[in-house]
Structure 1
Amino acid sequence: MRLLLTPRILNACKILHRAVHLDWSPNWKLSKKIWDRYRNLPIANCKVQATYVWIDGTGENMRSKTRTMDYTPSSHKDCPNLNFNGSYTYQAEPKNSDVILCPIAIYNDPITQGNNKLVLCETYDTEGRPTPSNHRHHCMETLNHVCDKEPMFGFEQEFMMMDVNSRPFGWPVMSGEPSPLGSYYCSVGADRAFGREVAESHYRCLLYCGVDISGVNPESTASQWEFKTGPTIGIKAADDLWISRYLLQRVAEDYGVAISFHPKLFKNWKGSGCHTNFSTKEMREDGGYKYIEEAVKKLEKRHEDHIKVYDPRGGKYNALRLTGHGVSKVDKFTSGVADSTASVKISKAVMQKQKGHFVDRRPAANADPYQVMNALVCTLCLNPQ
């Protein structure tokens, strides 16, 4: 007897196959107990693993390579430069492929632990010029002109947990999308808070390695989370965010989960941003509210310029997120007190105290924090016309 494979039966077979063989990374099948056996092997005190981490030519993704050191570095200055093949990371041509890693920050490594380190790096070509995706170099030049302003930053980084085929973690396999919005923000429960182990493991890693992490919570889309860094003065704020993004993906890798910083994956669900808290010394002092109001007016005049650098794709993907429905609109600047739909939000507590900070809600989740910081400081502290 032959089974007639009608389109309906074929579709049902595909759905069943998907339900049984979830599209998670094969990493989730690997035993972490076996990994612990090797991670806990005794290593000579003079041997240290230093994992060099950098931003590749996309301006969004990160790369890493590990080398052995015969000493424990106490700062990034103790770490030598390294070179790598930039033709594989969109940072050089094959016939002139060398790119130089220049250490700029060092962190304790929560993955390999012990004396091992994470070394955040800038990238330069062999002529000593910063690569096109090295926006830290220019940000530092800007910040060096405004040290007396003590600019302070905090980032609210939203992200989605996914399978390797871009299906959100925890979303129904057979029925399309989860139940409507409203159940997931700061949620508790196995039916609505998906991937807490990943978020909490990441949180502990950041505390271990010295990042200024201030909190974490589930966001309003199923499988969407947010972690907050800062407030931190100067370039360390952006360094911390980049190493936090690296560690988030590294931790999720162990769980077989992928991480997406895409600003807007699904039309009917809230997108992901990187809301940026900003203040200067005068804003934080008594009577500083007037400086916050002045800053908002300056931001309005440079709205288009900021939108272009608040998304590595020149605002293309961020425009999908900033539609005016529950969020600000990409082509219109707005501000307000306690208004989460505004481009720039001032909390009611700040208004009542008449000092503090504001939140720029326009940067996309995949924004380069160095570019965000540079834009804010140039507009608000260097007084452009």
Structure 2
Amino acid sequence: MAKYKLEYVWLDGSTPVQGLRSKFQMKEFSSEPTLEDIPEWGFDGSSTGQADGGDSDCVLKPVAIYLDATREDSYLIMCEVMLPDGTPHPTNTRADIIDDEGAWFGFEQEYFLLKDGRPLGFPKNGYPEPQGPYYCGVGHKAVGAIGRLIVEEHLDLCLAAGINHEGVNAEVASGQWEFQIFGKGSRKAADQIWMARYLLLRLCEAYEVDVDFRCKPIKGDWNGSGMHANFSTTKLREEGGKEYFDKLMAAFDKNKEEHIAVYGPDNDQRLTGLHETQSIDKFSWGIADRGASIRVPHSFAKNDWKGYLEDRRPNSQGDPYAIAARILQTIEEVA
């Protein structure tokens, strides 16, 4: 029997954006553990905004397991939070997703790296040069001294964990970066986004750098941070058609307020109609239009309106569970 480190990771009760929490325990197994081997565990919900002190027990239900390359014989355990009676905790948004393996999601997670409260590359007073050289930039002036070190180390940690990390790029503003996660299944990509966020936050502790997931941390003429949601269903990939697409866009237009409600807080600061966004109170779609609510790839329109679509409205703070659930709810309305 060998001892393994199991780090349980879950979403707390913080509002308007849930935070990540973790703790780990040692368990003995005769071989490398699988998800089925991982036991449920408990925690003090009164310390995470998820229970009262007089009845504080909450339950951690393992739902995904990832190798932790930073420690020997160690695994990261993504958990849902449950009540003692076995029902989902009110903060458990994962439980609400339609569990459809034919629903594929790709999330583009943008964020800022901060040192001493300033984005990397920002001087102590004032601002760096305007946007332009930073996007996919190279060289110290464009990406700084440690930004690339962090994002590439994060990439390696995600790949070692089995997270389907598909790429990295420097973004439009100084100190801003993006990574992309893709998953087949309603919950898979969302699980992996949360775990990738966790790994990034934990990694940056060693660099004394903070990760800022707010959607508009730098006011003024600077791009905000989004988490564009690329999505498809079996019907979108295999049947498609302009008639179905038009019905789908009509449903997204009708439900635009419901979508904005779960696409992340403070989105009015980001969805202004500027900086490659549509205004928060409007809905539009366009072929290769980065200023539309939903961008339609050229390949989609050329392929008899089949393939994937990109919802550009979700922001960097958004809960991928809630975003995926809302997109699928709208799709379900269309026959």
> TM-score range with shorter-chain normalisation?
over 0.9
What SS does structure 2 have at the residue aligned with 1:47?
strand
Aligned pair partner of 2:273 in 310, 313, 324: 324
Alignment-mate amino acid for residue 74 of structure 1: P
Alignment-mate amino acid for residue 200 of structure 2: L
Q: How does 1:17-96 map to 2 (within 5 A)?
A: 46-58=2-14, 59-71=17-29, 72=31, 74-96=33-55
The 2-side partners of 1:382 and 1:133 are apart by 25
| Distance apart, 1:168 and its partner CA | 1.2
What SS does structure 2 have at the residue aligned with 1:275?
strand
Q: How does 1:1-385 map to 2 (within 5 A)?
A: 46-58=2-14, 59-71=17-29, 72=31, 74-112=33-71, 114-139=72-97, 142-143=98-99, 146=100, 150-163=102-115, 165-173=116-124, 175-194=125-144, 195-268=147-220, 269-285=222-238, 287-288=240-241, 290-311=243-264, 313=265, 317-326=266-275, 327-354=277-304, 355-383=306-334
| Distance apart, 1:300 and its partner CA | 0.8
TM-score (norm 2): 0.93
Alignment-mate amino acid for residue 205 of structure 1: L
The 2-side partners of 1:188 and 1:226 are apart by 15
Q: 1:231 to 1:349 in 2, by over 3 A?
A: farther
Structure 2 equivalent of residue 16 of structure 1 = none
| Distance apart, 1:178 and its partner CA | 0.8
Report the more deviating stretch, 216-225 or 375-384: 375-384
| Distance apart, 1:64 and its partner CA | 0.4
What SS does structure 2 have at the residue aligned with 1:331?
coil
The 1-side partners of 2:295 and 2:109 are apart by 16
Q: Which runs of 5+ in 1 are unaligned?
A: 1-44
Deviations 1:206-250, CA, capped at 9 Å, x for gaps? 111111111110000110000001142321111111111101111
More strand by share: 2
The 2-side partners of 1:289 and 1:161 are apart by 42
Query: How many residues matched?
Result: 327
Q: 1:65 to 1:214 in 2, by over 3 A?
A: same
Alignment-mate amino acid for residue 161 of structure 2: C
The 2-side partners of 1:323 and 1:287 are apart by 31
| Distance apart, 1:309 and its partner CA | 0.9
Q: 1:235 to 1:73 in 2, by over 3 A?
A: farther
Question: Contact 2:248/2:334 (CA < 8 Å) preserved in 1?
Answer: no
What SS does structure 1 have at the residue aligned with 2:106?
strand
| Distance apart, 1:340 and its partner CA | 0.5
The 1-side partners of 2:95 and 2:298 are apart by 36
Q: 1:344 to 1:287 in 2, by over 3 A?
A: closer
Q: Which runs of 5+ in 2 are unaligned?
A: none
Deviations 1:283-326, CA, capped at 9 Å, x for gaps? 11265565444322211110001100111x4xxx1111111112
Alignment-mate amino acid for residue 51 of structure 1: E
Q: 1:223 to 1:91 in 2, by over 3 A?
A: same
| Distance apart, 1:334 and its partner CA | 1.2
**Rg comparison, structure with higher value:** 1
| Distance apart, 1:126 and its partner CA | 2.0
Q: 1:288 to 1:201 in 2, by over 3 A?
A: farther
Q: 1:78 to 1:168 in 2, by over 3 A?
A: same
Question: Contact 1:82/1:101 (CA < 8 Å) preserved in 2?
Answer: yes
What SS does structure 2 have at the residue aligned with 1:120?
strand
